[in-house]
């Protein structure tokens, strides 16, 4: 089943992410931008495209330039969604490349609650940047939190930071982070807002398809493109399905997928609704990181009803349980018969058998779930709720 990518893939790098100083009548420095040949003028003009985004037209003297602004739904509680990916660029408060890491690391720990003891130099560039470093959680089997990139003439001294779902799960104060982002004049390049329905009571793939056919995802009278992935021909397939609404290239895409099945539980009702916003042609406000529910609910008319408070720990615990049980089932299939023979050979001494099979480390599937899985004594995972 296709779900969201595991790596941030901003196309074309972040060249000119902050722009340059402007005089009266010039456009806000948001790059890259949609450029049109009509509607020119010296003054910025605001127009409503639809209920979900506001359009700002301005001119550079020759062409009209359009920037989109997501509109939050103020009637919705901010915690009906959580953040699953955040990427942004900024100008670090240092001029030398050698000083960037010493400047950034204290901010990652204090503002982002990320203790990053391992920073791996990939010896490669990334999207036009000269240097890419991977951010890794402390410990031998540390989880990768994301990446940072800097250097290169085309990037004009900017620093790019991309934080994946594991990193976002560890951030404890999004209001503080949002304030920091504003103070640094950072520009959000990607923001994923997610809503999990663990029981499938409100959302289902079938319901989303029905809503789409009824035109409930239309914005300003336009029906967005749709794409289907996964096993749609077999009813109840354990493989899971994904529906995408909108195109990533346009900077706004809604993804609905059977999250529990994606993790390995073929009968799980868990459905995730996830909005991916990109800053190529829109200005994503830092207020969205402290009120994600308002921006997810405001993204499409049919999402205006969201009310279920999102509790990250319950979502992570559910993911940990499914991943653990899937890993145990896989291990049973691969070595179960061998364990049976070993128990007989070692006169039923389970400690002896475990000692011979045990290895240090954590399986890739279970990384990031430390402390969330416990045994209830019935040979499967249990999570305290």
* Residue 227 host element (H or E): strand 226-230
Give residue-wise pLDDT tens across range 265-320. 888 989 999 999 999 889 999 999 999 999 999 999 888 888 767 555 566 566 56
pLDDT band at 263, cuts 50/70/90? confident
The first and second tokens of residue 290, run together, are: 């402290």
Quick one: which H or E segment has residue 68?
A: strand 64-70
Q: Residue 142 and residue 97: Cα distance in Å, rounded?
A: 26
> Is 1 exposed, middle or buried (CB count within 10 Å of its CB: 0-12, 13-18, 19+)?
middle
pTM as predicted? 0.73
Phi-psi domain of 157 (left: phi exceeds 0; alpha: psi -120 through 50; beta: other): left
Inform me whether the pLDDT recorded for 253 exceeds 50. Answer: yes
H or E stretch including 122? none
pLDDT at 379 over 60: no
> Which tens digit of pLDDT belongs to each residue from 326-378?
667 767 777 878 888 888 888 888 888 888 878 776 666 665 556 555 444 44
Point out the least confidently predicted range of 232-236, 242-246, 364-368: 364-368
Residue among 33, 4, 28 at smallest CA distance from 282: 33
Query: Higher-confidence residue: 86 or 35?
Result: 86
Using left for φ > 0, alpha for ψ between -120 and 50, and beta otherwise, residue 221 falls in left
Residue 213's φ and ψ, nearest 5 degrees, are -60, -30
List the domain boundaries for the chain. 78-310, 313-382
**Tokens coding 299:** 């993204």
Distance CA 73, CA 344 (A): 64
What's the average model confidence in pLDDT over 69-80? 91
Q: Can you tell me the mean pLDDT for 135-161? A: 87
Specify the higher pLDDT residue, 265 or 13.
Answer: 265
> Residues 41, 267: contact at Cβ < 8 Å?
no
Q: Which residues pair with 201 in a beta bridge?
A: none
How sure is the predictor about 255, in pLDDT bands with cuts at 50, 70 and 90? very high
Contact 133/123 with Cβ under 8 angstroms? no
Q: What is the pLDDT of residue 370?
A: 61
- What's the farthest any 2 CA atoms get from each other in the chain? 87
């Amino acid at each position: 089943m296709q779900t969201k990518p595991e790596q941030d893939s901003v196309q074309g790098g972040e060249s000119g992410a902050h722009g340059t100083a402007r005089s009266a009548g010039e456009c806000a420095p948001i790059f890259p931008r949609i450029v049109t040949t009509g509607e020119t003028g010296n003054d910025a003009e605001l127009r409503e495209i639809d209920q979900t985004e506001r359009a700002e037209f301005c001119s550079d003297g020759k062409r009209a330039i359009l920037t989109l602004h997501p509109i939050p739904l103020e009637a919705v509680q901010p915690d009906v969604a959580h953040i699953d990916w955040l990427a942004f660029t900024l100008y670090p408060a240092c001029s030398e490349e050698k000083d960037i890491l010493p400047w950034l690391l204290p901010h990652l720990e204090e503002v982002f609650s990320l203790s990053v003891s391992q920073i791996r130099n990939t010896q490669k560039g990334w999207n036009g940047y000269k240097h890419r470093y991977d951010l890794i959680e402390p410990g031998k089997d540390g989880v990768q939190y994301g990446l940072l990139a800097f250097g290169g003439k085309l990037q004009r001294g900017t620093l790019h930071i991309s934080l994946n779902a594991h990193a976002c799960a560890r951030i404890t104060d999004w209001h503080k982070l949002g304030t920091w982002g504003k103070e640094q004049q950072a520009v959000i390049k990607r923001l994923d807002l997610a809503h999990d329905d663990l029981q499938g009571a409100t959302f289902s793939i079938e319901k989303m398809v029905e809503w789409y056919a009824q035109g409930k995802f239309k914005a300003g009278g336009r029906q967005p493109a749709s794409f289907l992935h996964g096993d749609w021909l077999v009813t109840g397939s354990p493989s899971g399905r994904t529906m995408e609404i909108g195109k990533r290239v346009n900077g706004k895409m809604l993804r609905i997928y059977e999250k529990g099945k994606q993790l390995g539980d073929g009968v799980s009702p868990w459905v995730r609704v996830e909005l991916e916003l990109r800053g190529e042609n829109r200005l994503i406000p830092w207020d969205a990181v402290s009120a994600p529910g308002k921006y997810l609910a405001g993204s499409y008319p049919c999402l205006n009803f969201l009310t279920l408070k999102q509790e990250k720990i319950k979502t992570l615990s559910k993911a940990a349980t499914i991943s653990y049980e899937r890993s145990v089932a896989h291990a049973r299939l691969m070595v179960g018969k061998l364990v049976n023979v070993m128990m007989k050979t070692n006169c039923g001494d389970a400690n002896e058998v475990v000692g011979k099979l045990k290895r240090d480390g954590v399986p890739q599937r279970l990384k990031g779930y430390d402390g969330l899985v416990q045994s209830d004594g019935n040979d499967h995972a249990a999570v305290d709720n």
